[in-house]
Structure 1
Amino acid sequence: MASPQIDVDEIVETLEQIRQRGHSAHTVFRDWVNLMLFALQDRDDPYLEIVDDYRERGDMAHPDGQRSVDLFAKAFGQLQERMAATDADVLGAVYEEYGLSSDAFGQHFTPHTVCETMAKIAGVGDENDTEDRQTVLDPACGSSRMLLVAGRKQPDALFVGQDKDPLCARMTASNCCFLNLDAYVIQGDSLTVEFQRAWQTLYSSLGGSVRELDDEEVEELHEWVTDAFENTVEGDNQPSPAQGTDTGAEERTPRVGMSVPSEQASLGAFEGSD
Structure 2
Amino acid sequence: MEQLKSFSQYILQIGYKYGLHSVYEDFLEMVVCALSLGTKEGRYHEIVRNYEKSDAYLMAEAFGALVQEMDNNGEGLKDVFGDFYMEYISHGHNGQFFTPEPVCEMMARILNPAGFGERVADCCCGSGRMLLAAAKISGDSLFFGADVDRTCAMMCVINLCLNGLLGEVCWLDTLMNRFYTGWRIELHPEKGVPYIREITEAESYLILKLPEKKQETIVKQVPKAGISQQLLFEF
User: Are residues 110 and 203 of structure 1, via their aligned partners in 2, closer, same or farther at CA, if it must alter by over 3 Å?
Assistant: farther
* Paired letter, 2:114: D
**2:48 corresponding residue in structure 1:** 51
Name which of 95, 115, 123 aligns with 2:104: 115
Aligned to 1:18: 14
Q: Corresponding residue for 1:97?
A: 87
Q: CA deviation at 1:207?
A: 3.8
Question: How far has the Cα of 1:12 moved from its partner?
Answer: 1.4
Show the 5 A alignment for 1:111-150. 111-123=100-112, 126=114, 133-150=117-134
Report how far residue 158 of structure 1 moved. 1.4
Distance change in 2, residues 1:156/1:69 (3 Å): same
Residue number in structure 1 paired with 2:233: 243
Instruction: Point out the structure with the larger strand share.
Output: 2
The answer as to 2:73 corresponding to 1:83 is: no
Task: State the partner residue of 1:201.
Answer: 185
Tell whether 2:209 aligns with 1:213.
no
CA contact (8 A) 2:119 2:142 kept: yes
1:28 to 2:23 alignment: yes
Aligned twin of 2:55: 68
Kindly indicate whether residue 155 of structure 2 is the aligned counterpart of residue 160 of structure 1: no
Q: Deviations for 1:111-141, whole angstroms, at most 9, x for unmatched residues?
A: 0011011101211x5157xxxx432111100
Unpaired runs of 5+ residues, structure 2, are: 211-229
Greater shift, 184-193 or 169-178, is seen at 184-193
CA contact (8 A) 1:12 1:98 kept: no
8 A contact 1:180–1:202 mirrored in 2: no
What's the CA shift for 1:215?
4.3
Mapping of residues 221-240 of structure 1, within 5 Å: 222-223=207-208
RMSD: 2.7
Q: How many residues matched?
A: 206
Identity %: 33
Deviation at 1:99, TM superposition (A): 2.4
Structure 2 contact 122–131 (Cα < 8 Å) conserved: yes
Query: How has the CA–CA distance of structure 1 residues 116 and 103 changed in structure 2, closer, same or farther, with 3 Å as cutoff?
Result: closer
* Other structure's SS at 1:156 match: coil
Q: Do 1:26 and 1:104's aligned partners in 2 also have CA atoms closer than 8 Å?
A: no
Paired letter, 2:195: S
User: How far has the Cα of 1:103 moved from its partner?
Assistant: 9.4
Partners of 1:135 and 1:95 lie apart in 2 by 27
CA distance in 1, matches of 2:7, 2:94: 17
Distance 1:13 1:221, change over 3 A: closer
More off after superposition, 10-19 vs 112-121: 10-19
Contact 1:169–1:185 (Cα < 8 Å) also in 2: yes
TM-score, normalization by structure 1:
0.68
- 1:206–1:103 Cα change, 3 Å: same
Cα distance, 1:206 vs. partner? Answer: 5.5
Q: Is the 8 A contact 1:91 1:143 kept in 2?
A: yes
Match 2:168 to one of 184, 190, 196: 184
Equivalent residue number for residue 233 of structure 1: none
Q: How many angstroms does 1:45 deviate by?
A: 1.1
